[in-house]
Structure 1
Amino acid sequence: MEVILIKPVRKLGKIAEILKVKKGFARNYLIPKKLAIRATEPNKQFIEAQKHDLEMKELKIRSEAEAINNVISGKELIFIKQSADDGRLFGSVNNKEIAESLSKASLHLISHLSIILENPIKSTGVFVVEVRLHAELSTNITVIVARSESEAQDYSRNNKQDTIDLLESSDQQETSTPNDVEQI
């Protein structure tokens, strides 16, 4: 089935692109979520006429997403939760809680659907979570789950030191050349 994308779809295409997809994918996902319309002649003509407006609208949305990305990129969120002695939480931290906390910290409304979390966090520790603000734009934030504020600060210090160590080791690997390679 041929469809015309009216919004960019990750790993599929851009606005006003005509694609051939399976019928089920079009009927059950693309069309109901208003990501695409059927590629009939009237629709093709309509999209061609509206292409510039759609692209400008998408450019505005992307620039807003980039602005939010600049604010939240590398952000560290701390959640204080009750847990057992072995670190398992009495409950969990899910994408809705992360989105609420991130929205408060960044002063921008961020949907829980933008938080890419395979499973809720059910233990204490440091976690890297992907935030997908736009089909072509995503960033990572650090989520620290701890039992107390002091434990969260310890996790934060250790995480920063691990990051510094990782950066230093990657710099050393880039500058060093293997002994068995001849330089010409």
Structure 2
Amino acid sequence: MKVILLERLEGRGALGDVVTVKDGFARNYLLPRSKALRATSANLKVFEGQRADIEARNAKAKEAAGAAGEALDGTAYILIRQAGESGQLYGSVSGRDVADMINADGGKVDRSMVILDKPIKTLGVHPIKVKLHAEVTVTVNINIARSQDEAERQARGENVITSQFEEEQRLDAEAAADLLEGGAGSQESFDRDDA
């Protein structure tokens, strides 16, 4: 189906372009959300008559998104979740979770604006793209941790899973060395008790 774009669509075209898209994409997404018009001669005339208004509205929306993006770009949020020893979350963090965190902090983001290729399933600091407008995209950092202390350590750049593993190895090595040096449960202590 041929449509006239009413805003810039990434990978499709710019405002005012006549493009061919799949029928389902046009009927289910572009037309109901007023992102495009069917490319008929009547709609082309209507679009040309309203082009200046549409461009002005788009420029105003882009400017508002840019101002909101300046405040949002580079901000960091902490999300406390339960996770296993290997750092795998017991659930996942979705676009809705990210949007809820931003909105709770005073931002205005819809979950459809959050761009996640796949749900986040591990602890750590994850950069997330938020598309505020067709031409305005910002990045926020989500720090997913099991506790506030762990989140602070991750924010400093520490890999808490690796450091936890190294700490356990160090403690195991100390326990083994203690056992070899005649610590609790050594053979000498049993021999004295028997005598």
TM range (shorter): 0.7 to 0.9
Letter in 2 for 1:132: K
Amino acid at match of 1:12: R
In structure 2, the residue matched to 1:34 is 34
The residue aligned with 1:56 is 56
AA at the equivalent of 1:91:
G
CA contact (8 A) 2:5 2:14 kept: yes
1:158 partner letter:
G
List per-residue Cα deviations over 1:112-133 (Å, max 9, x = no partner): 1111112221221111111111
AA matched with 2:95: N
Tell me the distance in 2 between the aligned counterparts of 1:6 and 1:140. Answer: 26
**TM-score, length basis structure 1:** 0.78
1:16, distance to aligned residue in structure 2 (A) = 2.2
CA separation in 2, counterparts of 1:88 and 1:21? 40
2:140 maps to 1:141: yes
Q: Note the C-alpha offset of 1:28.
A: 4.6
Inter-partner Cα distance in structure 1 for 2:80 and 2:23: 46
- Unaligned 5+ runs, structure 2: 159-195
TM-score in terms of structure 2 length? 0.74
How large is the RMSD of aligned CA atoms in angstroms?
A: 1.8
Unaligned runs of 5+ in 1: 160-184
| Cα distance in structure 2, aligned partners of 1:39 and 1:60 | 25
Whether the 8 Å contact between 2:84 and 2:90 is mirrored in structure 1 is yes
Aligned position for 1:4: 4
- Counting only pairs closer than 5 Å after superposition, residues 1-184 of structure 1 correspond to structure 2 as 1-105=1-105, 107-158=106-157
CA distance in 2, matches of 1:24, 1:146: 41
Give the Å deviation of 1:32.
3.8
Q: Secondary structure at the match of 1:110?
A: coil
The one-letter code of the counterpart of 2:129 is E
SS of residue matched to 1:119: coil
**Distance in 2 of aligned mates of 1:102 and 1:20:** 36
Matched residues, percent identical? 35
How many aligned residue pairs are there? 158
Q: Secondary structure at the match of 2:71?
A: helix
User: Which 4+ stretches in 1 moved above 6 angstroms?
Assistant: none
